[in-house]
Each structure stands twice: as structure tokens, then as C-alpha cells.
Structure 1
Amino acid sequence: MLTPTACRAEITGLHEFFVEWFAGAAPRSDLSRLERALAPEFEMVTTAGERVDHEALVDGIAESHGRTAGEDFDIDVREIETVALLDDHAVVRYEERQSTAAGETGRVSTALFRADEAAPEGVVWVTLQETGLES
């Protein structure tokens, strides 16, 4: 069942996964967590306006395993709000801040989720639109 709580848990859980993955703390076998969280038709529009599909995102994340190992890196997710809740879909907006030794970047993201019992939190990401914030 699709609920705002499930969407919040998925957003938080996936970003925690990213921090561990980029640090190299998550085993490579854990990439399935990402694959199961994205709908097959998933598409993201990045802050640069590039369109990235399921396969390209998973491949890019796979190649980034351990990229921040030994560095200060964190992702802070804030202001999660449900914009629309339908029977089997939800639109959710949140703010994300990534911190590194070089500074902080931010974005506001709007995601469309669909109920999927096989997904880690019971919802899958269908589409994601990111808009960059000035630091």
C-alpha cells in the first residue's frame, strides 16, 4: 500500500544507501537495493537538464562504488512533503544537501512513486526531477 510514510522511508533509505555505497562501505552485492527501488521505466532529469534512464543510473552508481572513501561525505534529506497522493501513485518533494570537504551542494527534487510490494519500502521511483539550489 502506498503511503506518505513508505515514500519518506524510501527517500531516506535510498540516500543512506548512497552514502554507504559511495564510501565503499556497502558490499557491491547491495546494488540490488537500488535496482529494486527503481521502476523499469524510471527516468530522472538531473540539475543539468540531462535525462537518465534506469540502466544508465544503475550503471553510473555501480561505477561510483567507493568514490568518496576516506573523504568527508554526507547527504542530508530535509523537508519531505507529499504533494499528491493517489490510489497507487504519490508525488513527493524534498530537499537534498550533499556535503563534502569542498563544500555543499543542494537540490530540490520532485519524485513520482508507485506502489510495488517487491521494492525495499513497498514503493518504486518512477520519475525524478532535480532542480539545483545555490549553495
Structure 2
Amino acid sequence: MIERHLDLNEHEGKMRGTTRKNVNISFGSDEDQASPVELLVMSISGCSYGVLRIILENRKITYDSIHVDVDYLMEDAKPNKVTEVAIHFKIKNPSTDIDTLGRVLQQTIKSCTVIQSVKEAIQVNERITIIE
């Protein structure tokens, strides 16, 4: 087992987390802050995006840019659990075809720590589109 630690505290009336790398992240319910739910969804999609980029690099697949659209569904009833996250990768001018990118996406899902951690509770759907 790998053990990790985070600190959470209040700082200037806002929630703040400090990572093991001493990075501070402020979050909460104010208009200018990401909510804990948004951080959860960003963690899922951000992990997937990072893994996707590593796999593309390892396979020497080049591209001009990647844009990621993320939508998520929450239950109407309290506690409004996140039930589904849809991640849409838009890859501009990749040096490969959509079939190869589909296989890369499958490997990405299997290799993403966050998706593997939440997959029993949250349905994660991913797709890739090539844009010109």
C-alpha cells in the first residue's frame, strides 16, 4: 500500500487543502471557487487527460492540441451524488487514425488511477473526436 497525506484547514474564511508537495488549493462555495464536487469531476477528467497525453507521447503520436469537454450528472435528491461523468477529447490533427485513438482511450481508462478508484460509484464515459 502507498500511504499519502493531505491537510485541510480554514484559511481566511475559505477551505484550503495542502498537498504532499506543499501545493495549496482553495475551494468552497463562493462564486470564485471550485466546489468539492467540481474538484471531484476535475480530478476524474484531469487524471484521464494526463494519462492520455502520456500514452500518446509514449506511442510517438503527435497532435496540434487537445481540448477536453466534461459534463456530469448528479442525482436530484440529496445528497446529490455524482452519477456520471462524460469526457470528450477533441484532438486536433493527430498523426494517427480514430481506431488507434480508440485503443489509446481504452488503455487510458484502464490506467487512470482516479477512474479506477471511482468506477464502482460513478459511470465514466469517454470519447475522442478528431478535429481539423
TM surpasses 0.5: no
Q: So what's the TM-score if we normalise by structure 1?
A: 0.36
Compare the two structures and name the one with the higher strand fraction.
1
Q: Which has the higher contact order (CA 8 A, sep 6+)?
A: 1
Normalising by structure 2, report the TM-score: 0.36
When Rg is computed on C-alpha atoms for both structures, the one with the higher figure is 2
